[in-house]
Structure 1
Amino acid sequence: MTPPAIIIRDETLADAAIITEVTIAAFQTLEISNHTEQFIIQALRSAQALTLSLVAEVNGSVVGHLAFSPVTLSDETPNWYGLGPVSVLPNYQRRGIGKALIEEGLSRLKNLNAQGCCLVGHPDYYRKFGFRNVPGLLYPGIPPEFFFALSFNGQFPQGEVIFHKAFQADGE
């Protein structure tokens, strides 16, 4: 059976509520989650800090979402971004939707002259996209084996990464 076509597109204003629903559902059973991902996306959107916000559609319904936002580096390297959250509805996981979102997002990020991207995530998943643990590049409070970076020009910054303050959003 041929899998349904996945359409990746920019989010629209009309997508905000469904993105929240998809995000809540995607992270609901993850033990490593603080279950604040939907608040992070809303805070990034409110701060106009969503550099890229993409949705995945299958059969006309939004089933996935991915966000990129700027990060600050202690060594002042410019044009680096954070990837996340990435959300796919549980019934659509393991069908290539997250992969399609990430690949399209990274391609678009490169076209924006980004120098690289970093994230906190599962080691087995993100390595297949070229992300790696980088000695000397740290995200305080996160074990190094869960912090990844991907350089688009072969050079990695050194020091601490600071994600947008929206990543502290908890719905309060």
Structure 2
Amino acid sequence: MIDRTIRRETDADIPGIHALIAAAFATVERSDGAEAAIVDALRDDDALSLSVVAVEGVQTIGHVAVSPVRIDDGTGGWFGLGPVTVAPHRQGGGVGRALLEGTLERLAEGGAGGVVVFGEPDFYARFGFERVPGLDYPGAPEGYFQALRITDSQFPSGVVHYHPAFG
């Protein structure tokens, strides 16, 4: 059995991350195919706060991007999680769980106040994410925008603004 490693990206990982994201989102119904370009733009603008990969042997099988968000109430130290990517042939095998756990651990170590995510509600609820009344991302389908407090004692309120790379 090949050992799986969850770690921060290195420069050598970047081409594989781009290819992984493009392949994984190519058939996703709610995707416009821009996810790989978003991660590239975050990296180019030095707005990729955390980039975590899941690697088995020399193959990148998963990736999580984390970038700062701005919240209308002025709360700082919050981040947006995503895109979260697992190679299609590895989905359902615990890679996503390992990536999320590793990423949330790194955010806690860094003193993040909290994190928001736009994604599948049932998946993210497993990690403690929840819908927070008063914390909004306009246009998100019901339940698909959730938050998790990490070091903050309360949730912020207002509209959440992601980096312009998200369009």
**Structure 1: segments with no counterpart, 5+ residues:** none
Residue 14 of structure 1 and its aligned partner are, at CA, apart by 1.4
Q: Secondary structure at the match of 2:129?
A: coil
Residue 144 of structure 1 and its aligned partner are, at CA, apart by 3.7
Please list every run of at least 4 consecutive aligned residues from structure 1 whose deviation after the TM superposition is greater than 4 angstroms. Answer: none
Are 2:37 and 1:39 aligned?
Answer: yes
When normalised by structure 2's length, the TM-score is: 0.96
* Residue deviations 1:14-42 (CA, integer Å, cap 9, x gap): 11111011001111111011110001000
When normalised by structure 1's length, the TM-score is: 0.93
Are 2:126 and 1:105 aligned?
Answer: no
Q: CA RMSD in A?
A: 1.1
**Partners of 2:115 and 2:88 in 1: how far apart?**
26
**Partners of 2:46 and 2:61 in 1: how far apart?**
23
Residue 60 of structure 1 and its aligned partner are, at CA, apart by 2.5
Of the candidates 114, 117, 125, which is equivalent to residue 115 of structure 2? 117
Paired residues in the alignment total: 166
Residue 154 of structure 1 and its aligned partner are, at CA, apart by 3.4
**Partners of 2:58 and 2:18 in 1: how far apart?**
17
Q: Secondary structure at the match of 1:22?
A: helix
Q: Which residue identity lines up with residue 47 of structure 2 in the other structure?
A: A
**Structure 2: segments with no counterpart, 5+ residues:** none
**Partners of 1:136 and 1:4 in 2: how far apart?**
45
Q: Match of 1:136?
A: 134
Residue 7 of structure 1 and its aligned partner are, at CA, apart by 0.2
* Residue deviations 1:58-98 (CA, integer Å, cap 9, x gap): 12211111110000000000100000001111111111111
**Partners of 1:33 and 1:94 in 2: how far apart?**
19
Q: Secondary structure at the match of 1:99?
A: helix
**Partners of 1:75 and 1:112 in 2: how far apart?**
22
Residue 166 of structure 1 and its aligned partner are, at CA, apart by 1.3
Identity fraction in percent: 46
Q: Which residue identity lines up with residue 98 of structure 2 in the other structure?
A: A
